[in-house]
C-alpha cells in the first residue's frame, strides 16, 4: 500500500511534533522553578503579615503624651450636693500612675503621713488605718479624645475590681489633670467627683 512514509520508532501521537531542544527544556525548567519560588515567597509574606496583624489585634498599642510615669501632687474630692471639697488623702499625698504603650496601667496612692504598724505584722486597728490610707488598682485603658476609660482588673477595694472607670483628662506640658465623673466614692460611699493633679516623672 502506497502513501506517506510512517515515522519509525516514534509514537504516532507525537508524529509531526517539533522536538524540544535540550537547552530550551532547561530554560523552561528554570522558569518553572522561579515561579514556584516566587509563589512560595509571596505565600510566606502573606502568612507573616497575617500573623503580625493577628498579634497587633490581640495586643493593642497605645500612643500619646500620657505614656510614662506620673507622680501625684494633689487629690481633691468634691461633694456635688453641698459643693464641699475634701482632701481624703491629706493635702500632700504621694503616689504614682503609669500608662504603658501596651495599653496597660497601674496606680498607687498613699495618704499623707501614713504611719506604719508598730511591729512587722499590723494589728487589726492598724490594718484598718493602713487600708483607709491607700488606693491601688491596675488594668487596661483606652483613650478617646479627652476621655480615658480604665478597665479595673485588680484593686485594693475588691468592689472596684471588674468595673470600668471613665474620667476626663488633660495634659499641659508636664502636668496631667484627671477629673472623675460623678459617682460613688470608694472611700466614702458618697456621690462625688475627684480632681487629681499629676507631674510627669522624667
State residue 14's pLDDT score: 37
Rounded to an integer, what distance in angstroms lies between the CA atom of residue 133 and that of residue 93? Answer: 9
Q: What are the C-alpha distances in Å from 8 to residues 14, 46, 151? A: 12, 53, 86
- Report how far Cα 83 is from the mean position of its chain's Cα atoms: 37
Rounded to an integer, what distance in angstroms lies between the CA atom of residue 17 and that of residue 11? Answer: 11
Burial label, 144 (beta-carbon count in 10 A; 0-12, 13-18, 19+): exposed
Rounded to an integer, what distance in angstroms lies between the CA atom of residue 111 and that of residue 38? Answer: 65
Contact between 199 and 177 (Cβ < 8 Å): no
Per-residue pLDDT of the chain (202 residues; tens, 9 = 90+): 444 444 444 444 434 545 545 555 555 455 556 555 666 666 655 555 554 444 445 678 999 999 999 999 999 999 988 899 999 999 999 999 999 999 999 999 999 999 999 999 999 999 999 999 999 999 999 999 999 999 999 999 999 999 999 999 999 999 999 999 888 888 888 899 999 999 999 8
User: What is the Cα Rg of the chain in Å?
Assistant: 35
The beta-carbon contacts of 177-182 under 8 Å, at least 24 apart in sequence, are 178/148, 182/80
- Neighbouring C-beta atoms of residue 133, cutoff 10 Å: 19
94 contacts: CB under 8 Å, gap ≥ 6? 71, 72, 109, 110, 112
State residue 81's pLDDT score: 87
State residue 13's pLDDT score: 42
State residue 102's pLDDT score: 97
The model's pTM: 0.70
State residue 3's pLDDT score: 47
Amino acid at each position: 500500500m502506497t502513501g506517506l512514509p510512517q515515522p519509525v520508532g516514534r509514537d504516532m501521537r507525537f508524529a509531526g511534533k517539533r522536538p524540544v531542544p535540550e537547552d530550551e527544556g532547561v530554560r523552561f525548567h528554570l522558569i518553572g522553578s522561579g515561579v514556584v519560588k516566587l509563589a512560595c515567597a509571596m505565600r510566606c509574606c502573606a502568612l507573616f503579615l497575617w500573623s503580625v496583624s493577628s498579634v497587633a489585634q490581640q495586643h493593642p498599642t497605645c500612643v500619646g503624651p500620657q505614656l510614662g510615669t506620673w507622680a501625684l501632687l494633689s487629690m481633691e474630692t468634691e461633694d456635688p450636693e453641698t459643693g464641699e471639697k475634701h482632701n481624703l488623702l491629706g493635702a500632700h499625698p504621694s503616689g504614682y500612675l503609669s500608662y504603658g504603650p501596651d495599653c496597660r496601667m497601674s496606680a498607687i496612692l498613699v495618704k499623707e503621713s501614713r504611719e506604719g504598724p508598730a511591729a512587722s505584722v499590723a494589728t487589726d486597728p492598724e490594718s484598718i488605718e493602713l487600708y483607709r490610707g491607700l488606693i491601688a488598682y491596675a488594668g487596661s485603658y483606652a483613650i478617646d479624645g479627652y476621655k480615658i476609660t480604665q478597665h479595673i482588673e485588680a484593686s485594693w477595694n475588691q468592689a472596684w475590681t471588674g468595673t470600668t472607670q471613665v474620667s476626663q483628662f488633660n495634659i499641659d506640658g508636664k502636668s496631667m489633670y484627671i477629673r472623675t465623673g460623678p459617682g460613688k466614692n470608694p472611700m466614702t460611699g458618697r456621690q462625688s467627683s475627684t480632681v487629681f493633679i499629676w507631674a510627669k516623672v522624667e
